[in-house]
Amino acid sequence: MLGTSLRSGLIGVLLSGLAMGVAQARTLDTAYGEVEIEGTPERVVTLYEGALDTALAAGITPLGAVTTRGGDGVAGYIEAHLDADRPAIMGVVREINIEAVLAQQPDLILAPPRLPQEQFQLLSRIAPTVVPPTQETSRDVWKSEARLFGQALNRENEVNDAIVEVEQRGEELAAALAEADVGGVAYLVRWMPAGPMVMSEHIFSTGIMAAAGLDVEDGDLLNEGGIHSDILSLENLSRVDGDWLFLATLNADGQDALETATQSSAFNRLNVVQQDRVVPVDGQLWTSASGPLAALAILDDIEAALLP
């Protein structure tokens, strides 16, 4: 009788443990179907700037990450969230170093939207690989991507809290700008070595600008679904002459090209230049990054530039 009770107890414990294991497993809907993840991953590699941003916001420093656009390391704003444990570089988002990823022995890989299927298949042989099922460019798609990464990391609450903080901060800044009677039409332009490109009004950073109460436009200069326009001539700069011009450069080459252009009469004829309403911003943050930490950094920039 005693033996039967012990066996029943042990079976109960085993079943309970099995049930807990099943409860901890998560099935995520990704671009390449369902991906199952158990427990809390400890060895994480991010192959997308938005994934690195979200992981850090959730309290996890990845073992590896890709470089930011136009740079040879992570974005400058990310540095403030890193300590001595820095992620190793896994290549660039369009050219991932699979061998470098394998060397990290990850138990989770957070990948960019539209990762080619061939790369997904290779990476999936290393560790569960999460690719957001992003289909189109939109201002708020970063939130669904961040929540998916939060599920994968088993840090849903931390990521949701970070998103709520961004939304509250945007509302507070919008109210402060309205009270100061500051606002109007704003454009975001990225200055490349070949010249300026206006960024879409439907991307991450222009969505953050809109959340702060700015009327963001792109001058109807983009093809449908595009992220930015073709290179504009200096004569066409008048089409982005609003109340505010946020001017981004990615690196020293872009900055040199911008400094040359600012000496031209076409640039100096802009009303926004004459009213001293051109706001220089970091292109790595404003035109390449995404995620809750990037959103807060952009809101910081807007507040510093626009509030008296």
Q: Does 8 score more than 70 pLDDT?
A: no
Tokens standing for residue 104:
């990290």
Rounded CA separation 110/82 (Å): 18
Q: Does 15 score more than 50 pLDDT?
A: no
Residue 130: closest CA among 10, 233, 8, 27: 27
Residue 81, classified by CB atoms within 10 Å of its CB into exposed (0-12), middle (13-18) or buried (19+), is middle
- 17 or 266: which carries more pLDDT confidence? 266
* pLDDT tens digit sequence for 99-119: 999 999 999 999 999 999 999
Q: Is 228 helix (H, G, I), strand (E, B) or coil?
A: strand
Quick one: average pLDDT of 283-297? 95
Residue 261, pLDDT score: 80
Which of 156-170, 179-193, 263-277 is most confident? 156-170
Whether residue 167 contacts residue 211, with contact meaning beta carbons closer than 8 Å, is answered with yes
Angle between helices 292-306 and 49-57 (to 10 degrees): 90
Whole-model pTM? Answer: 0.89
Confidence label for 24 from pLDDT (cuts 50, 70 and 90) = low
Q: Is 164 helix (H, G, I), strand (E, B) or coil?
A: helix
Q: Does 305 score more than 90 pLDDT?
A: yes
Whether residue 85 contacts residue 61, with contact meaning beta carbons closer than 8 Å, is answered with yes
Quick one: average pLDDT of 7-26? 49
Rounded CA separation 109/122 (Å): 11
Q: Which residues pair with 110 in a beta bridge?
A: 46, 130
Residue 235, pLDDT score: 79
Apex 142 CA angle, 138 and 146, nearest 5: 155
Residue 119, pLDDT score: 96
Residue 1, pLDDT score: 43
% residues pLDDT > 70 (the chain): 92
* pLDDT tens digit sequence for 198-219: 999 999 999 999 999 999 999 8
Residue 174, pLDDT score: 98
Q: Does 124 score more than 50 pLDDT?
A: yes
* pLDDT tens digit sequence for 48-97: 999 999 999 999 999 999 999 878 899 999 999 998 889 999 999 889 99
Type of residue at 242: G
Residue 69, pLDDT score: 83
Whether residue 43 contacts residue 109, with contact meaning beta carbons closer than 8 Å, is answered with no
**Which residues, including other chains, have CB under 8 Å from residue 254's CB and lie 6 or more apart?**
70, 190, 191, 192, 193, 283
Residue 101: closest CA among 31, 109, 73, 117: 109
Whether residue 168 contacts residue 292, with contact meaning beta carbons closer than 8 Å, is answered with no
Rounded CA separation 15/10 (Å): 9
Mean pLDDT, all residues of the chain:
89
Q: How many residues does the chain have?
A: 308
Whether residue 158 contacts residue 147, with contact meaning beta carbons closer than 8 Å, is answered with no
Q: Where are the beta strands (DSSP E) in the chain?
A: 26-30, 33-37, 44-46, 64-65, 88-89, 91-92, 95-96, 108-110, 129-130, 185-192, 195-198, 215-216, 244-249, 278-282
The enclosing H or E element of 144 equals helix 141-153
Whether residue 286 contacts residue 197, with contact meaning beta carbons closer than 8 Å, is answered with no
* pLDDT tens digit sequence for 135-185: 778 899 999 999 999 999 999 999 999 999 999 999 999 999 999 999 999
Residue 3, pLDDT score: 44
Alpha helices in the chain (DSSP H): 2-24, 49-57, 98-103, 117-124, 141-153, 156-179, 204-211, 252-261, 265-268, 271-274, 283-286, 292-306
% residues pLDDT > 90 (the chain): 71
**Which residues, including other chains, have CB under 8 Å from residue 37's CB and lie 6 or more apart?**
25, 26, 28, 108, 128, 130, 151, 152, 154
Q: Is 48 helix (H, G, I), strand (E, B) or coil?
A: coil
Q: Does 13 score more than 80 pLDDT?
A: no
